[in-house]
Structure 1
């Protein structure tokens, strides 16, 4: 790596860092956070990408994996001018990862720490850009949940919001429920800090924090330990004494403790234009010169390492051919691996009369519909970055660099020992399958040997009998139920049973009927249809004589996916079984008054998480 790159920008790969991820050769470490590590890599055409690898602790949680897949697919729909788009991902591998376009600019946190607060015009343009980014993110059905200065990058043509929605995937995993918080305390909204309902308004509060931080040079609720900051956010007003007077009305409204008192994103943008003495237009001069210099630093990227090309070997001489073989001897010192910082090879395109069939997609990536041609006419292979209209970009790592050589190999002694053990086991298995007259030792063997013969029969297609230990019939222990009183679910909102506590959220652009909600309340304003249902499992209304319990829900067979709201009365109990393996009893407590501006139902929830094995699709 060139010595011209500032050490804090591009860290060299360490011993624990992989050489490649998903076919991408890693060039440097960009940073690390609570959910994973971010690396610099390149596409085949040489475009830099930021590749985030999720921490192993999260990867081992099945609920996180399910949510991470949902959030990544939702994030693919976000294609705004002020966001860093997701271009590739793998949610099924040993460690999930996703790649976004690389933004050559410092974060707002880094810029303020290094150069101080921003001037008014820069703050207004920053606010407009972030507001537009949130508008696109919310339109995709995503709440950012972790909008903070470190997640706002300052590019030459405006800000870029990153990591949108990914925090939700970790919001209710075993890690978060045991004390690992998701979100940054200094920039949380009151409802988020007090485990209330997280909505798009939560991001508006964070936007107010962003404005104040950029204009003051410090968080509006001060510094200190997280508990003290969260207390001030929930119970006290922010310190805006150092905030320019022009920005106080805007920031004060955004930081309203009541979400209903916060402005919409459109209103935020309008207020910014009204505050500016000159028309606001994004351009190359939107940042102070000192901050713009940080962008230049980030354009000096380290080149990716490449495997050295094979060197031609000279033909052996007659003397070498006739010489007797010599015993191999290890060199006194192993040579250091060569490093070749070469640019990725430029792909060659050969025009042809007809395009071949579309290549198969890698696991974890969307598959094109049958007969859909992903290669533009006249090319044998798709050019880099080509994506058919309306379909996600095919996985770049399918045609990436050749796999890197493994860092270490197994000792030959272990391989030989393993082969000997495998041979002994194979002889024992074959002996157990021989006729009775040919394997007398099998008759006189201990009970453990007879069990081995049973297992061999099962491997050949027979049904294995019960074992003496009964381990195959071991019952899953019942989980401890968690109860939540007075959960208000707004019309066309849904809850996920894994959430702790359950937080109603919008179904996004696809709506709750076609989303992944475990339990939702649907209202059709045109026809007046009201119903509760699930898009991720099944449910049933219990009879008056039945008592809602885990045993009752497991024993029921009258399941459906939708229930008319007029079938429920105060105290009606509904069993909900999610495909993720969670079981709940939802006790209906009524709906909002007709005079109420909001349309919602109220339920009490008792949830047994991970009561069953997840359903495989």
Structure 2
């Protein structure tokens, strides 16, 4: 789920988001996924950071906390040019969190989805940068385990690898209960898919997969159900048709035998040999459209940083980092007082109630920040205002009608005491919203659509392990995050309210309002051509989705085809 739009706009905090974490003022929401939610914040010196709060159910797992602590401390040793360094963290608090340097650029996944495959010079620079990042990560004793396009961010001066080491911490938890998947099937190595030992060579295999995705816009082992992709990874050769000849060495990265794969340093050398000119990272290493997008995001972050804000309640930095000054000395507690912070290496913080329990009212953004903010669709934003205006008008009409009635009685008292009601009506209901319809929408696996878009366009943004966690996922198509016995993919909505209509039920707004046998998701095995699904979104839209079919057996991509009729703002928004 990303909170950053293609035009650089940043999404303000939701009503349920904390206003601060450990003294860091949160400025915007960057995204959410299987591990937690990521926010934009700033160091006291004004450097932007990405602060990730871990999901509560993961934080409650003791083994996760132990491994998370180990991995975060190891990640502090990673100081490469192509990684997002760790700035600060807390592994002991009620809700663990981790802060890294903010990268003002899209993920490789969203960049390819929006702009298509990268040109060869960009792919070579991408591979060399990510390989160099892996060398530094492996040098710190860390295996990434989940290298994939959404964990590679595209900055103006080269790629950045994020989320290294966290997958190993998540591996310790009961993942089937949290909906978190350790490793992404399409980018797992054969040994990882088979449950064998995972080594740095596993990351090199994932790097080969990332290279194919960047150059062709699709994986080397096709799409489809997870178990089918994993079978091809373990038993079949990759499909490299269409790869430029200069990238032939990528096949070595995808060798079944880990010992046959090159090291990250060798990959850098192979990229240099394949490039007709010396590899040099610069502000023009990406296509112009992506470079402009990065510039817009930098401007949006700078605008939020300039917004005036109240000083943080406590000193935010608990550990010095590459972009952070040393933490201030803590004030010694009075005699007999209990230390408020249990972290052995952290500067103690004054005890305070968790900020997310009693959030301060959100401060309005200054006018000069407004152009950079994400603007929700106006119809959705205006529902409350329209209701309030309607109520005021209705009250005024009722009051006026009463006055007219009294004056009429006074003026016509000699006329048999009869009075005549006003001719104007006062209780008229607001009409139902007009439907908008869209035909033949192709929704790929792992993507979602937003009903406010016209037409709804498939979205797949960074930091999202499954489309069901997508930000604004009004209707998604992806693997079942609960690993149920039915192994077919699922469709659903972020609000977990969908209804599969019976053959005898006619799809309409009235029908969708009437039926209440809600389900969280619907398996593809339950659908046939013409099946209709009522969708109730958290933003108050109601949609009637008609399933038309899925991609053919020989198709290089996995997608479903849908017709959609949408009634926007048809009911109150839900939390």
Indicate the TM-score class for this superposition, using the shorter chain for normalisation: 0.5 to 0.7
Aligned to 1:268: 267
Q: How far off its partner does 1:181 sit?
A: 2.5
Aligned to 2:149: 149
Contact 1:170 1:176 in 2 (8 A): no
Within 5 Å, give how 1:435-514 maps onto structure 2: none
Aligned to 1:199: 199
Aligned to 2:403: none
Change (3 A) 1:224 1:24: same
Greater Rg by CA: 1
Q: How far off its partner does 1:228 sit?
A: 1.5
In 2: Cα distance, 1:124 partner to 1:29 partner: 32
Contact 1:106 1:154 in 2 (8 A): yes
Aligned to 1:79: 79
Within 5 Å, give how 1:60-459 maps onto structure 2: 60-175=60-175, 180-248=180-248, 250-301=249-300, 341-342=307-308, 358-359=329-330, 363=341, 367=345, 406-407=358-359
Aligned to 2:36: 36
SS at match of 1:301: helix
* TM-score (norm. length: structure 1): 0.51
Aligned to 1:527: none
Change (3 A) 1:169 1:119: same
Change (3 A) 1:194 1:180: farther
Q: After superposing the two structures, state which structure 1 stretch, 83-92 or 282-291, moved more.
A: 282-291
Q: How far off its partner does 1:208 sit?
A: 0.4
SS at match of 2:299: coil
Aligned to 2:555: none
Structure 1 unaligned spans of 5+: 307-339, 347-354, 368-393, 410-617
In 2: Cα distance, 1:39 partner to 1:246 partner: 39
In 2: Cα distance, 1:112 partner to 1:182 partner: 23
Change (3 A) 1:151 1:85: same
Deviations 1:196-231 (A, max 9, x none): 110000000001011111111111111222122111
Contact 1:58 1:64 in 2 (8 A): yes
In 1: Cα distance, 2:245 partner to 2:278 partner: 19
Change (3 A) 1:64 1:405: closer
Change (3 A) 1:396 1:279: farther
SS at match of 1:109: helix
In 1: Cα distance, 2:45 partner to 2:23 partner: 14
Aligned to 1:488: none
Aligned to 2:392: none
In 2: Cα distance, 1:405 partner to 1:34 partner: 22
Q: How far off its partner does 1:359 sit?
A: 3.8
In 2: Cα distance, 1:408 partner to 1:78 partner: 36
In 1: Cα distance, 2:170 partner to 2:149 partner: 20
Contact 2:41 2:49 in 1 (8 A): yes
Change (3 A) 1:395 1:219: farther
Structure ranking higher on relative contact order (CA contacts 8 Å, 6+ apart): 2
* TM-score (norm. length: structure 2): 0.54
Contact 1:109 1:149 in 2 (8 A): yes
Change (3 A) 1:15 1:111: same
SS at match of 1:209: helix
In 1: Cα distance, 2:348 partner to 2:302 partner: 18
Q: How far off its partner does 1:81 sit?
A: 0.6
Aligned to 1:370: none
Structure 2 unaligned spans of 5+: 313-325, 333-339, 362-575
Change (3 A) 1:118 1:110: same
Question: Number of paired residues?
Answer: 339
